[in-house]
Amino acid sequence: MAYALLANVPAIIGLYMSFFPPLIYALFGTSRHVSIGGIAVISLMTGNVVNSFTIESSLTIIQTNITDNTIRRDYNEVTIVMALSFTVGLIQLILSIFRFGFVTVFLSDTFISGYTASTAVLVLTSQMPDFFGIKIQHRTGFFKIIYIYIELFKRLRETNLITLTISISGIITIYTVKEYLEPYYKRMIKKWKIFHKVQIPIPIELIVIIIGTILSHKFHLNSRYNVKTIKTIGKGFRAPEWHQWKLLPLLVKESISIAIVSYAISYSLAKNYAKQLNYIVDANQELSAYGLCNIICSFFGCYPSASSLARTSVCVNLGGRTQLVGIISSIFLLITILKIGPLLEPMPKACLVAIIIVSLRNLLMKVRDIFTIGRVTKLETIVWISTFFSTIILDVDYGLIVGICVSFIVVILYHFRPRTFVLGVLDDNQVHNMSRHYSNARELPNIKILRFESPIMYFNGEYFNDSILKLLRDESKTNEKKLDSVNEKFIDDVQNGTHVIVDCSAISQIDYSGGKIFIQTIKELNDHKYKSLLGFTDNTGV
């Protein structure tokens, strides 16, 4: 239900999202462990689509002086998300038919880290009005996060203190249990050997919801203190509905980005658990399964779904080994949907805000990845920073485009200007990159070992030629030590002239133009009295 608020749909839709997708995925998916449903990132992207359409329809009503509210009925929230889910599923299904499951290889871990961290910031921002109990204007477009915080600070005097108290106490309670009590609880279970094979987590979110609902009902928080509550949940299922086909073409742009992001997140999670637990998931079948989930569930009021890290980890910790876990959880949800739903109507929205904010802690901590990435490679750092800030400033759709484009540019730069360096040896007689990481590496006397880390193609052939000759023009390091394994004849050759060994281990391909330049480079080396050799190393520490 918390994610339903992010998607700007009724709370009952959140229950549908936890009921229908696991049942459909169990039939078509290849992962044994992932739990399909609503997640923060996709819920936020869905909420942005809903906002854009509802605001647009409201403006149309005002401009045309229509009083019968026909347009508003056509663009109600549930109708929009149903059409969106169908379009997302259709795109994913088409991609799977054309075997496009490999597209995730273009979405690097750096890109995913920057994108999820930035969407976590946007999700956190979207919860601030309900956190303080303040009503602000819905905003879309560029720099919306800045305008939201400006308006929020202007309206801080309107803060509902009861709502703020519920939010803060809920966050403190959930965080304390998750970070401190639950680890202690697990250690005690393991020590006492009570259910030690099945690690049942403390259902603190459910406890907070129950306590908040009881207090709200007892003290009439909505009517007396103007605390926002869920108000209407209802019970039972919606009758399957046919889609508003005229909406589908209007949703294609947003659907493409949601389809790609949801697939990337879901498949990476499925692949991760498959590696850990030693089985295989099929990329194209997974893409097809996600598409069918979204298409079928769209007729029952669901918005686009994806794999949830939190729910999946809970399933694994509980000992789940098949998708039967999802089916059983859906059965329990069936009871809630049919009978218990209306009992939760007095629940303060601040309780759900607290749950969402605490659930974002791991995503927000991905901001620390920038320091690790920065120590490894500057180009990947650019990918992370550009993805993170473009998503925050421009919004999730444009952030996705910017991140992917910058990632492609970085890949191109890696091939246009690949690393070229001199190799040396350490005391272990293994060949290493003579950089600051291996400052003790030394060259063999009168021998240069050069490494070029890319295929030699028409677009980087000249760079190969220039970089090899430039390295040779630089002053070579000298070292008097000789390796015992070097034979006497070879030493004589070295003393009469300098040898150049081109390490071809990383040169996986040479095209026609690259081959011509490669031969030209060898000839130039020979003209400079170098004896050129081609070599391959299998123990290079780079």
Residues 260, 269, 44, 2: is their CA dihedral positive or negative?
positive
pLDDT for position 252 = 92
Whether 227 has a pLDDT exceeding 80, the answer reads yes
Domain that residue 441 falls in: 418-535
What CATH code is carried by the domain that includes residue 505?
A: 3.30.750.24
Position 25 confidence tier, pLDDT thresholds 50, 70, 90: very high
Taking residues 380-398, report their average pLDDT.
91
Q: Rounded to whole angstroms, how far apart are CA atoms 97 and 103? A: 13
Residues 210 and 355 sit within 8 Å (Cβ to Cβ): no
Q: Residue 494 — very low, low, confident or very high, per pLDDT cuts 50/70/90?
A: very low
- Domain contains 230: yes
Cβ–Cβ under 8 Å, residues 97 and 89: no
Surface-to-core class of residue 25, CB atoms within 10 Å of its CB (0-12 exposed, 13-18 middle, 19+ buried): buried
Q: Does residue 429 register a pLDDT over 70?
A: no
Q: Do 30 and 132 share a domain, yes or no?
A: yes
Q: Is the pLDDT at 60 greater than 50, yes or no?
A: no
Number of domain units in the chain: 2
Please report whether residue 408 resides in a domain: no
Same domain, 300 and 422: no
| Residue that the structure tokens 């749950």 belong to | 355
Whether residue 453 sits in one domain with residue 357: no
Mean pLDDT across the chain = 82
Residues 291 and 435 reside in one and the same domain: no
Does one domain contain both 47 and 127?
yes
- Record the pTM: 0.78
Place of tokens 């995503």: 363
CB 92 within 8 A of CB 259: yes
Which run of H or E residues covers position 249?
none
Q: If you average pLDDT over residues 482-503, what whole number do you get?
A: 54
Provide the pLDDT confidence category of residue 491 given band limits of 50, 70 and 90. Answer: very low
Is there a single domain that holds both residue 353 and residue 489? no
* 376 occurs within a structural domain: no
Angle formed by the axes of helices 109-132 and 144-154, nearest 10°? 20
Same domain, 118 and 194: yes
- Asked if the structure places residue 486 within a domain, the reply is yes
Lowest average pLDDT, out of 205-219, 308-322, 414-428, 483-497, goes to 483-497
Least confident span in 26-30, 70-74, 190-194: 70-74
In tens, the pLDDT along 62-117 reads: 444 444 444 444 568 899 999 999 999 999 999 999 988 777 777 788 888 898 89
Q: Which residue has the higher pLDDT, 220 or 476?
A: 220
Domain shared by 450 and 325, yes or no: no
- The band of 234, judged by pLDDT with boundaries at 50, 70 and 90, is confident
**Do 357 and 478 reside in the same domain of the chain?**
no
